[in-house]
Amino acid sequence: GAVVSQHPSWVICKSGTSVKIECRSLDFQATTMFWYRQFPKQSLMLMATSNEGSKATYEQGVEKDKFLINHASLTLSTLTVTSAHPEDSSFYICSARATPSYEQYFGPGTRLTVT
């Protein structure tokens, strides 16, 4: 199957700093990518839908100014957590949708810890 990578796999940062997470589709082009957040023992929560060349669509309750998403190419989307706080600590997972099957492939996730 297709491969989606995320970098970094884990990151520790201090409160008030910003962190950027990269999501790449390695062997296919993805016009649409997604960013999810997952808390321990819970299901995935969709944060935003990212379309190449246009602004991301954020889910209700997700602060767009805090979670900046950029989808500059057909193989790369980035999520920047700005002014991170301990409550932003979580597991962030991206996914990319292949066409024409619309099968969705997920990255391995990024563990963010804000101290």
Nearer Cβ to other proteins, position 82 or 106? 106
Q: What is the CA radius of gyration of the chain?
A: 13
First to last CA, the chain: 37
Smallest gap from residue 111 Cβ to other proteins (A): 7
Nearer Cβ to other proteins, position 63 or 103? 103
**Exposed, middle or buried by CB within 10 Å (0-12, 13-18, 19+), for 34?**
buried
Smallest gap from residue 15 Cβ to other proteins (A): 24
DSSP strand pairing (32-38 vs 90-97)? antiparallel
Nearer Cβ to other proteins, position 19 or 48? 48
Return the SS3 of 35.
Answer: strand
Are 2 and 25 spatial neighbours (Cβ–Cβ below 8 Å)?
yes
Q: Which of 25, 32, 78, 90 binds other proteins (CB under 8 A)?
A: 32
Q: Which of 11, 13, 46, 74 binds other proteins (CB under 8 A)?
A: 46
Binding-site ranges for other proteins (CB under 8 A): 1, 4, 6, 32, 34, 43-44, 46, 49, 91, 93, 95, 101-109, 111
